[in-house]
Amino acid sequence: MQKRKLGKSNLEVSAIGLGCMGMSFGYGPPADQKEMISLIRKAVELGVTFFDTAEVYGPFTNEELVGEALAPFGGKVAIATKFGFKLDPQTHKQAGLDSRPEHIKEVAEASLKRLKVDAIDLFYQHRVDSDVPIEDVAGAVKDLIQQGKVKHFGLSEAGAQTIRRAHKVQPVTALQSEYSLWWREPEAEIIPTLEALGIGFVPFSPLGKGFLTGAIKEDTKFDKTDFRNSVPRFTEENRKANQAMVDLIGKFAQQKKVTPAQVALAWLLAQKPWIVPIPGTTKLHRLEENIGAVAVDLTPEEVKELETAASEIAVQGARYPEALQKLVGR
């Protein structure tokens, strides 16, 4: 497995990480815990050293799963987790945002216990909280870094100005945001900002929440607890229209004798040497397929050809329902 450094930091991780959210949350009922522990451990065997979770995935259960699975590999892997949501003490349901410094510190203590680690490798603000100045957020994480409880500071779905302001207080190691062949908005402002500041980029949903693999058709039915049911881009009508993107990637995959998922991931890896995608999965064959993308070499000509063809396809539907859309790019 190739390694990559996130920006100018000394955080070196496998070129492809593993997003663990879907094992407990978001994409239908939680998967079997024993099977997921064995899948995470298999990922380590296959060279993955970068794992992504958050307190709100579950809530709490995903961090516990990741903590247990990775306990035997202390010091050999990097675990990223996130703070910034307010959870109802009774129901544990999300109840808005909370990035007050004292809350960040409480979350860090609880995450350390669930992850069974002495320090959090990468601690992201999950969404920008407009009630708390980003300087205060960065300052709180800086304190945690000085105390040895956190190693690196990250932001998720933040806008360029916020990234710059945070970075002045505590260097930002990585930004995690959605980026893929069917969501290229970061190319306008975010990627140039990250490049200028020496910050790594960790794209989530690099396979378009599963769509770019070609496994989802217009008549695919999702489980009632699957959040894609509420995503405009995933209405039946929009899936039908967006199939053009999948067909394009599929055509490239056939030429290269690889899978559509591998083309989509190889395209991201070819963008910048400091981009580390974190596709999620609950299936071993998908994990192996995703890791295989590291060996897919796209020439600059192929990258250009793919981009040009993709930019001619108008993707239909917003990537988030309106309430979630308000929380991004702030």
> Which residues does residue 324 pair with via DSSP β-bridges, in sequence order?
none
**Pair of tokens at residue 133:** 């100045």
**Which residues, including other chains, have CB under 8 Å from residue 22's CB and lie 6 or more apart?**
31, 280, 281, 282
CB atoms within 10 A of CB 201: 23
Report CA 267 to chain centroid distance, whole Å: 16
Stated as kind and residue range, the H or E segment containing 123 is strand 120-125
* C-alpha distance from residue 284 to each of 38, 266, 272 (Å): 10, 19, 27
Choose the catalytic residue: 57, 124, 179, 320: 57
What percentage of the chain's residues is helix, strand, coil (to nearest 5)? 45, 15, 40
Stated as kind and residue range, the H or E segment containing 107 is helix 101-115
Instruction: Kindly calculate the radius of gyration of the chain based on its CA atoms and give it in whole angstroms.
Output: 19
CB atoms within 10 A of CB 75: 7
Stated as kind and residue range, the H or E segment containing 79 is strand 78-83
Of the CA atoms within 13 Å of residue 110, those in its CB half-sphere come to 16
Read off φ and ψ for residue 289, nearest 5 degrees. Answer: -65, -45
CB atoms within 10 A of CB 229: 13
Active site residue 27: no
* C-alpha distance from residue 130 to each of 93, 95, 159, 164 (Å): 20, 15, 12, 15
- Catalytic residue numbers? 57
